[in-house]
Chain A
Amino acid sequence: MEKNIASRFNVSLQYSSDMLSDKERHAKRKRLYNGNDNITSALKHSGVSYLISFGFDFHFAEPILERVTKIGRDRIEYEIFNGWKCLASSPVCGHSVLDVLVSLRVIRNKK
């Protein structure tokens, strides 16, 4: 049941790649798709498909949660979160990416 719900989400994450050469960036991307950090590992564990992109102008330890979509039962993809539209007053701002993913029910909180 858990896997079924989770598998209907798509997540876009943007990581920092400042000071990385093309080769290093490629290696980082590969590691992230293998579940290299806690966010990609949680997504991979829940069977959520995710897309990695790189940005040069930020230096956060956490990636930016760009977009989360969900495939509804009608097989149409709906956007349920957009980091660029997220207002400062939104409850998700100020929370970690994992918290937001949990609150969007993309992944489950560990009990």
Chain B
Amino acid sequence: MEKIKLRTTGLERLILGYFNTSGTTEEPDNAQLEIVAKNWQESGKYFKKHFKGHSYSAARILKRLRKEFNVGFTEEEIRDLYDELILPDVDCLRGIASFAQEFSVPLTEPQTKKFWNNFFRGKWGNYDLEDAVKYLGKPDLNQEELNYACNDFLRDLAGLKVREKGTERMPRLEDLSALLKLVSLTPQWDMETAGKAYEYMIPLLDNPFAEKKFIFLRDIGVSPPVEKVRKFYRELFARKERYSSSREAGYIAESLERVLKLTNLSLEQRDRKLILRFYRQHLSSDNLEAIRKMEKIIGIPCDAEIVNLVFGDMLRRGDTASINHLSAELKITPAIQESIVQEAYRNLFREGKLDSALKMYLFSDIEPVTDPKTIEMAYKKLETKLRKKERSCYTLGHTVDFQTFGWMSRRFPEQTGKFVKRHLRTMIHEGRFPEIEKLLSSTNVSPEPEEAYVLACKKGDWKLVKSIFEANSDSITRLYPEYARLYQYVV
């Protein structure tokens, strides 16, 4: 009973273990192989049935069976196995190579023909081709077969070839060159597929790694689809910033240069607007190189009119540092319009950017003219910023320079005074006394009696402490109870 089980299911199961589909093939131990060898007549059938797709392991096992257990294989048996191996799969090549090397049994002519047919229908590459030629000799392809192999490459380029998931591989020109080197015929290209390949690859026009493929398509006679190419480069300009502005500008300039070079197209008159917009968006001292490159590629100069518009944009944003850097690089003095400066002040105050407002003043020598509400808004925005930054140890001096508070208090004393008085309370609770001193001296704001009392306590001005406490004991006790308790020691 035991013997029957082994011969019918056990032996097959044993052989199945060598070729499991998980990819981790067991190395059979000697005792197992001995059983396989002893029952080779039976096990050979299972072997033939299950080794497909595992030809490398199969060759290794057969080698051991022959060397260690003296199992003899006839040429006929090996050729039978070749028949099972010749599948449209790269693995078949490796299997055949392993078998051919080990057993020195050449393939029959029909098998060789079938092999090459399957080979060019599968996922082959130049290295596979070199190996196959090494073991089987050069493929003897007729015009039709060569056309099929070459146009299959085009189908792959055009995305028409269905690829198995997880095994996607971009077709490589090296593969095609390796094939064309082996044959003396010239392929007849399917121009329709070639055209489709060009269209399919248009999104890669800006990719330096795809450049050779476009040159190849051009060389075999494909004309670029003009409208689609134009659409592609116009989209380049509209692309949202993926990198920092400086990298983006350089990237667009380089991409446009590549697209125009590869397609041999020149820009149309209507593209002028795009280019001018590009200059306006990207002109800065960091991007000068990219702008110069663009000027050289397309021959549209970034003239003084655009430079002034850019200066205006920078001014509106209150970005005086960029204006300084750009004007130093271009050696152009920016024209400063008072209306734009006032617009910039409004924008900066709305965003609570007081330091930038002072920089704008020092840059333009123009006084801010704005309504009290805007200044109140600026201080509220600043307070929000301070609240958010408190956790990451940012303090008033880090957020806004004290000289800025001085400048603000001289122009907007009421609003600055209100802000300082409000913020003093927070600063006292946080114990930031050195900052309080700087803030008060830069703004000349007199603190409320409660805060003045605390500051007098800090300075040890007991005479002042006494006089303030006597007049404001209730509010001091309510707001600063710990400092209020200090009073009993003073009296």
Contact = CB atoms under 8 A, between A and B. Distances in A.
Interface in B392-421: 401, 403, 406-407, 410
Interface string B354-376: 00001101110101000000000
B325 interface: yes
A99 B406 CA distance: 29
Interface in A42-88: 70, 72-74, 76, 78-80
Interface in B317-361: 321, 324-325, 327-328, 331, 358-359, 361
Contacts of A73: 365, 367
A70 B365 CA distance: 11
Interface residues of A, number: 16
B331 A79 contact: no
Contacts of B365: 72-73
A102 B333 CA distance: 11
B331 A111 contact: yes
Contacts of A72: 361-362, 365, 407
A99 B328 contact: yes
A41 interface: no
A26 interface: no
Contacts of B403: 78-79
Contacts of B358: 78
Nearest to B363: A105
Nearest to A73: B365
Interface in B293-322: 321
A102 B407 CA distance: 25
B360 to A, nearest CB: 11
A91 interface: yes
Given A102-B328, A109-B331, A80 B406 contact: no
Given A74-B410, A79-B403, A109 B362 contact: no
A78 B363 CA distance: 12
B115 to A, nearest CB: 62
Contact of A103 (B324, B359, B406): B324
B204 to A, nearest CB: 35
A70 B324 contact: no
A51 B77 CA distance: 98
B307 to A, nearest CB: 15
B328 A91 contact: no
A20 interface: no
Contacts of B331: 109, 111
A41 B456 CA distance: 51
7 contacts: A74-B410, A76-B410, A78-B358, A80-B359, A91-B325, A99-B328, A103-B328
Given A72-B361, A73-B365, A109-B328, 6 more contacts: A72-B365, A74-B410, A76-B407, A76-B410, A78-B362, A103-B321
